[in-house]
Amino acid sequence: MPDLDLNKLMEMAQNAQNELQKAQQSLESIEVEGLAGGGLVKVRATAKGTILGVSIDESLLQPSEKTMVEDLIAAAINDARGKADQAANTEMQKVTSGLPLPPGMKLPF
């Protein structure tokens, strides 16, 4: 009888691993947009953190605005990164919600 329980546990672990791999792959198809300067600078990224594009409003394209533009780009990237992390966490919670994990344990290991 213990072998049956161990087999079932191993099957559950394999299924969980497969679901986690699918979720990780799907993170590249989920897009987020980070904004800064009230939307004057926008950064598109995947939930996995790959930067897809940067958009800068033409009003900022003046030599005197260089430092502000650099700061806004950094802020937009950080905003996109935060949103990407949130999207990734949401996707992972969907996968791990049915798994019997100890409190505080995070996947992937």
pLDDT digits (tens, 9 = 90+) for 65-85: 999 999 999 999 999 999 999
Q: What are the tokens at 72?
A: 């806004």
Establish if 91 belongs to a structural domain: yes
The whole-model pTM stands at 0.69
- Across the chain, mean pLDDT equals 84
Look at residue 7 and tell me if it is in a domain: no
102 inside domain: no
> Is 35 inside a domain boundary?
yes
pLDDT digit string (tens) for 38-64? Answer: 999 999 999 888 999 999 999 999 999
Q: 37: domain range? A: 30-96
Residue 34 tokens read as 């980070």
> What is the number of domains present in the chain?
1
Mark out the alpha helices in the chain (DSSP H runs): 2-26, 66-96
Domain with 90 in it: what CATH number?
3.30.1310.10
Distance CA 80, CA 108 (A): 22
Q: For residue 103, is it within any domain?
A: no
Do the domain assignments include residue 64? Answer: yes
The pLDDT > 70 percentage for the chain reads 85
